[in-house]
Amino acid sequence: MKSGKALTTAMAIAVGLTTVLAGCSSTEGNSAASGTGGSGGGSGSSAGSKVTIKMMHLWPAGSSATQNKIVGDIIKDYQTSHPNVTIEQEILENEQYKNKMKVLSTSNALPDVGMTWAAGYMEPYVKGDMFAPVDDLLQGELKDKFVKGTTEAYAFGGKTYALPVELNIVPVYYNKAIFAKYNLQPPKTYEEFKTIVKTLASNGVTPIALGNKDRWTGSLWYMYLADRIGGPDALKKAIDRSGSFNDPSLIRAAQEITGLVDMNAFNKGFNGLSNDEGKTEFMNSKAAMYMMGTWELPNYTTNKDVPQSFKDQIGFFKFPTVDGGKGNVDSWVGGPGVGLFVANNSKVKDEAKKFVSFFVQKWGELAISEAGVIPATKVDTSKVKLPQLYIDLLNELNKSSNLTLFADVQMKPASAEVHLNMIQALFGKAATPEEFAKKHEESLAKEAGK
Amino acid sequence: MDKVMSNKTVVALFVLPSLLLIAALIYMPIVLTGFYGLMKWDGVGKMTYIGLANYKELLRDSLFWNSVKHSFLLAVFSALSLLVYLLVALILSAQIRGAGLLRKLYLIPMLLSSVAIAQLWLKIFHPTSGILNRMLVSLGVEHTPEWLSDPSIVLYAIFIPILWQYAGFYILIYYAALKNVPASLIESARIDGAGPWRIAFAIRIPLIAEIFKVTIVLAVVGSLKYFDLIYVMTGGGPNGASEVMASYMYRKAFSGYDFGYASAIGFFLLLICLFMTWLIRKATAGKETIQYS
């Protein structure tokens, strides 16, 4: 609306690009943190030539304070033991991070080390030869260090292209105080769960906090229902095309979603609220339940900004089983979160790989003791004192019978986009369960045909 | 000096640098966008030439036409609200008390960044704690609207901050133009017995007609390519209910990894903007322009 001539204004792509670049300008340099490494002035006494590794990650000090600090600590550590290496951080928020990855890869200028999501998300980058294989690391000092099943999500054609740092499962957190007030117990079956929802809703308490503007948040609910009704393979098969979204169990899962919406299970206006806005309802004790990945654990255990009285009120339960459904209560939605990649065209590939190897090991130790998040590497928990909530979840993870990787990560980008849109439509009752299935089928078939 | 300027080589030498800059920064991207539109490209890997397939699919894409419709709706609302802005400017320029302060107040939204405005209005529109619904509740409304998640109202809800954001800009333009109308004309009209309305419609508005045309083009083309508030506030959702052309293009490129298709949308957007500019010029041209003095 503001600028002038039609020609200049209509430079369409530029609109998108400017927004992204504007959003990206908040680069937080952390170079030369350890005096010896950086500022290429005086002739160093350090061994080897000076190396600068650029690293991009998505844990800003604001929203992921603990993770952010750990990354800083690891880098400081590494720079102290490798005085010739300087690591420059660039930190972006989740969505901006994805956008910047896209822009950088278009100009073939990815950072030396960066973060990626698994499976479908990273496929275009792997196909475009943007990421370097890191199998040599896995054969070497990282051999057998990872929890089984985590590195596989980053492998294509027998080669692994990134190393996972997180392992997440998605429990339903609940507010014990609210449950106690209405005499409720954590549910074992879906029927019990629906009774809880009804009780809370009829008493004017929001049963479930949800911010579905981000769409993947609603997808978690669908995935659990699909798993509990259709078993661990139904959704997986529908996505890899050995099955179909027209599977009756998958359609029933979609029906259950509309059922929950009809029962006023979610907070008002959820489709227009971001995950953070939805979460606020739970953090303010206005909603009784909140389903989210274990990356939220610090908020209920170690985060100093959250009052202890609130933390004490929070428990979790496993998504209940559905009567007649094939799913097991120990089957989880989750999987490895982000992983570290090394750019294929990096000028300092070897040094970058060494750093990645160091990072994942160090992260494994610190993530548990300081951040309270679950790392993808195996850890000895006997040495550290951990919050009970965390230990309980870790034990659940060890018992898990299946991990279903997030649907939008399983799918390739175009279908993932359709899936997320349809989730929002389903929750908003703009699409019937049958339409929901049909749109998925169309998109997946089209992508498989390409 | 005249001699130098009549030397064609010198003229070319002076003009060439900026001409090259414009070509590289403006026309090149346009051509490239059209070119990428002919490709199947995920924005990362290799491009494959697929001819006009993207453009053909565009014509059949109901989601795209939905976004076109929304963009045009926004353009219509923007054009209509120009009349309101004009009215405000007329009142402001009529020597009312505190006009200077009001003018500054109106301009403030223009000075805020779009993201700040979006955050502000997200709070206002919040379904339970937002000031809008709290007011409605205190007025006794039981079922308050879910402004940003109800597909039937989200589009109009989001127009409000957009129109609010640019109000000051247009009011200022009109105000400046109205101030340029010679006082002598208004004074003689007043002596002849014309009231304030008569003066407004017979003298002041006709004299700023040219400015009005310019603002229509600005408002319409600006609306067609509008992006920022919509992206931050709803991301085009829920389920495309507030999607406009630019946000759809963005979504295709950055979430759907379909850069070729997004480029085709971008090129199409350019054509529509050019066409609308031409149309508005055509519709408003040829009429006798009224001059001062």
Residue A128's alpha-carbon distances to A122, A131, A343, B20, B160, in angstroms, are: 10, 8, 11, 33, 43
**Could you give the maximum distance between any two Cα atoms of chain A, in Å?**
73
Q: Which of B26, B44, B57, B275 should be substituted to probe chain A, the one whose Cβ sees the most A Cβ atoms within 10 Å?
A: B44
Question: What are the tokens at A362?
Answer: 């160090």
Q: What is the mean pLDDT of chain B?
A: 89
Q: Among A391, A361, A383, A418, which residue's Cα sits nearest to residue A163?
A: A361
What is the tens place of the pLDDT at every residue in B96-137? 788 888 888 888 888 889 899 999 999 999 998 899 999 999
Q: Which residues are paired to A86 by β-bridges?
A: A52
Q: Which residues are paired to B49 by β-bridges?
A: B39
Q: Where are the alpha helices (DSSP H) in A25-132?
A: 65-81, 94-106, 119-127
pLDDT-wise least confident of A349-353, B14-18, B43-47, B191-195: B43-47
Cβ–Cβ gap A15/B225 under 8 Å: yes
Please report the pLDDT score of residue B286 as a whole number.
62
pTM of the full predicted structure?
0.83
Taking each helix axis from N to C terminus, what angle separates B154-179 and B62-93, rounded to the nearest 10 degrees? 40
Q: Taking chain A (450 residues) in consecutive chunks of 10 residues, what is each chunk's mean pLDDT? A: 39 42 40 36 51 90 80 92 91 85 87 90 89 88 79 88 90 96 95 96 95 93 95 91 93 95 95 91 95 88 87 94 91 88 90 91 83 77 79 84 86 90 93 95 84
Residue length of chain A: 450
Please report the pLDDT score of residue A228 as a whole number.
95
The answer to whether the Cα torsion of B265, B270, B275, B277 is positive or negative is positive
Q: CB A152: neighbour CB atoms within 10 A?
A: 15
* A270–chain B Cβ distance below 8 A for any pair: yes
Nearest-by-Cβ selection for A128 from B45, B219, B263: B45
Bin A151: left if φ > 0, else alpha if -120 < ψ < 50, else beta: alpha
Residue type, A95: E
Residue length of chain B: 293
Nearest-by-Cβ selection for B44 from A15, A125, A277: A125
* Residue listed under structure tokens 């550290």: A384
Element of type H or E holding A209: strand A206-209
Angle at B114 between CA B112 and CA B115, to 5 degrees: 105
Decide if pLDDT at B39 tops 80: yes
What is the tens place of the pLDDT at every residue in B13-32? 889 999 999 999 999 999 99
Burial class (CB in 10 A: 0-12, 13-18, 19+), B281: middle
Identify the band that residue B84 occupies on the pLDDT scale cut at 50, 70 and 90: very high
Please report the pLDDT score of residue A279 as a whole number.
93
Q: Among A178, A132, A120, which residue's Cα sits nearest to residue A335?
A: A120
pLDDT-wise least confident of B48-52, B131-135, B170-174, B255-259: B255-259
Q: Where are the alpha helices (DSSP H) in A241-327?
A: 248-262, 275-283, 297-300, 308-312
CA dist A361 and A146 (Å) reads 10
Residues 6+ apart with CB under 8 A from B274: A6, A7, A10
Residues 6+ apart with CB under 8 A from A179: A185, A186, A196, A288
Q: Which residues of B touch A13 (CB under 8 A)?
A: 29, 33, 249, 253, 262-263, 266
Q: Which residues are paired to A289 by β-bridges?
A: A174, A208
Which has the higher per-residue pLDDT, B60 or A381? B60
Nearest-by-Cβ selection for B239 from A8, A125, A425: A425
Give how far B26 is from chain A: nearest CA, Å: 6
Cβ–Cβ gap A213/B238 under 8 Å: yes
The answer to whether the Cα torsion of A285, A286, A288, A289 is positive or negative is negative
Nearest-by-Cβ selection for A99 from B125, B239, B254: B254
Element of type H or E holding B252: helix B245-254
Nearest-by-Cβ selection for B146 from A7, A19, A272: A272
Q: Which of B30, B48, B254, B263 should be substituted to probe chain A, the one whose Cβ sees the most A Cβ atoms within 10 Å?
A: B254
Please report the pLDDT score of residue A368 as a whole number.
79
Residue A330's alpha-carbon distances to A169, A176, A184, A188, B66, in angstroms, are: 11, 22, 22, 12, 43
Residue type, B242: S
Please report the pLDDT score of residue A235 as a whole number.
92
CA dist B178 and A187 (Å) reads 70
* A425–chain B Cβ distance below 8 A for any pair: yes
Cβ–Cβ gap A19/B227 under 8 Å: yes
Residues 6+ apart with CB under 8 A from B36: B47, B259, B260, B263
Across the range B48-71, mean pLDDT stands at: 92
Q: Residue B57 in 3-state DSSP? A: helix
Please report the pLDDT score of residue A55 as a whole number.
93
Q: Where are the alpha helices (DSSP H) in A31-93?
A: 65-81
Give how far B225 is from chain A: nearest CA, Å: 7
Beta strands in A106-160 (DSSP E): 113-117, 155-156, 159-160
The nearest alpha carbon in chain A to B240 belongs to A421
Q: Which residues of A touch B26 (CB under 8 A)?
A: 7-8, 11
Q: Residue A155 in 3-state DSSP? A: strand
CA dist A182 and A180 (Å) reads 5
- The DSSP bridge pattern shows strands A85-91 and A51-57 to be parallel
Cβ atoms of A169 and A283 within 8 Å: the answer is no
DSSP string, B100-126: HHHHHHHHHHHHS-HHHHHHHHHHHH-
The answer to whether the Cα torsion of B106, B108, B111, B115 is positive or negative is negative
Using CA atoms in the order A62, A66, A71, A73, what is the torsion angle rounded to 10 degrees? Answer: 120
Cβ–Cβ gap A124/B44 under 8 Å: yes
Q: Among B243, B261, B242, which residue's Cα sits nearest to residue B252?
A: B261
Q: Which residues are paired to A164 by β-bridges?
A: A339
